[in-house]
A = this chain, B = another copy of it.
Amino acid sequence: MLRWQGRDVISIRDFTREEIESVIAKAKKMCADHELLRGTVLASLFFEPSTRTQFSFNTAIQRLGGSVIGFAGSESSSIAKGETLRDTIKVVEKYADLIVIRHPLEGSARLAADVASIPVINAGDGANQHPTQTFTDLYTIEKFQKKIEGLSIGMLGDLKFGRTVHSLAMALTRFEHIKLRLISPPNLRMPVPILHELENVLTYSETEQLDLRGLDIVYVTRIQRERFADIEEYEKVRGTYVLDRKSCEQLKPTATILHPLPRVNEIAPEVDQLPQAKYFDQVQNGVPVRMALLTLLLRGE
């Protein structure tokens, strides 16, 4: 029997395979029910703005009949004015039933969870974790591939700084027979500590070639110009890792292309029409996944 009520969602590492699967199962059954969390107040504390993530949580709670208090970026200065994060959390928990926090400092969400007696969901703490994105990614993989274990999964682009691929890779260690293909420029490879975590748990390979053959999942991330000292180096890499109709000819018909969005030009718009393109479905899946998590944490089931 899993215990969900009152729990925090800080890192994907905190969840077992059984727990991940129960979130996916719950999300499949969620539908708009404006009685379920009626009267519930969600505090949405975005110390740095992320309109997309905030939209997703606000949609989820409101579809279930709850409401929102919160701020985004600039306004946050008011509540934090000379006040410790600890005090801010101790104040906000007096108003709300659940806190969603995005904060530029790693570890801030964990600190908030330690202070608060109500559930805290980490919506991104610096370069560290963003677990609800990972739940959404796993839900989307399972939805289109009907399973997670045994899949061949390619991760493409900036694997060094990309929070979502780190977090997804860790989550995949919970599932058996995963084959991971890490495709990146040499200066943007997956960090060694994460590779150590993957070893002996799943099979992975690293390559600089845009080799998409045989993959079930292609998870694309954005390559940011500012990661390169040399602009020519950037331009070369940028061209190499673009998904367009040509490069997609390698894909299995049943493959699924994912991207945490926003994209800039790493996926050409022409790819949107391909049957494998599922990144806008992935966005949509963020809502039932968050509805499931909110319900589990507030209702216990």
Which A residues form the contact surface with B (CB < 8 A)? 32, 34, 38-39, 41, 43, 49-52, 54-56, 58-59, 62-63, 65, 67, 69, 71-79, 81-83, 86-88, 90-92, 94-96, 261-264, 269, 280, 283-284, 286-287
Residue of B nearest to A66 (CB): B62
Which of A32, A75, A83, A287 has the most chain B CB atoms inside 10 A of its CB? A75
Contact at B95–A59, with CB atoms within 8 Å? yes
Once the chains are docked, how many angstroms separate the CA of A286 from the CA of B73? Answer: 25
B96 touches A59 (CB 8 A): yes
> When A83-B264, A262-B81 are in contact, do A91 and B41 touch as well, CB less than 8 Å?
no
Decide yes or no: A83 and B263 within 8 Å by CB, A41-B59, A59-B69, A280-B94 being known contacts.
yes
**Are the CB atoms of B55 and A92 closer together than 8 Å?**
yes
Cβ-closest chain B residue relative to A61: B67
Contacts of A94 in B (CB 8 A): 280, 283-284, 286-287
Closest to A67 in B: B62
- State whether A71 touches B51 (Cβ < 8 A): yes
Contact call B72/A75, Cβ cutoff below 8 A: yes
Measured CA separation A73–B76 after assembly (Å)? 11
A52 to B80, CA, bound (A): 10
A245, chain B: closest CB distance, angstroms: 18
Complex Cα spacing A71 to B75, Å: 10
A38 in contact with B43 (CB, 8 Å): no
User: Known contacts A73-B75, A91-B52, A261-B91; is A39 also within 8 Å of B67 by CB?
Assistant: no
Determine the distance from Cα of A289 to Cα of B95 in the docked complex, in whole angstroms.
13
A96 to B62, CA, bound (A): 11
A91 to chain B: closest residue by CB: B283
Q: A120 to nearest B CB, angstroms?
A: 16
In the complex, A8 Cα to B286 Cα: how many Å?
26
Which B residues are in CB contact (< 8 Å) with A49? Answer: 75, 77-78
CB<8 Å pairs between A and B, sample of 25? A41-B62, A49-B75, A51-B75, A54-B69, A59-B95, A72-B75, A72-B78, A73-B74, A73-B75, A73-B78, A82-B264, A83-B261, A83-B262, A83-B263, A86-B269, A87-B261, A87-B262, A87-B263, A88-B262, A90-B280, A91-B261, A91-B280, A91-B283, A95-B284, A95-B287
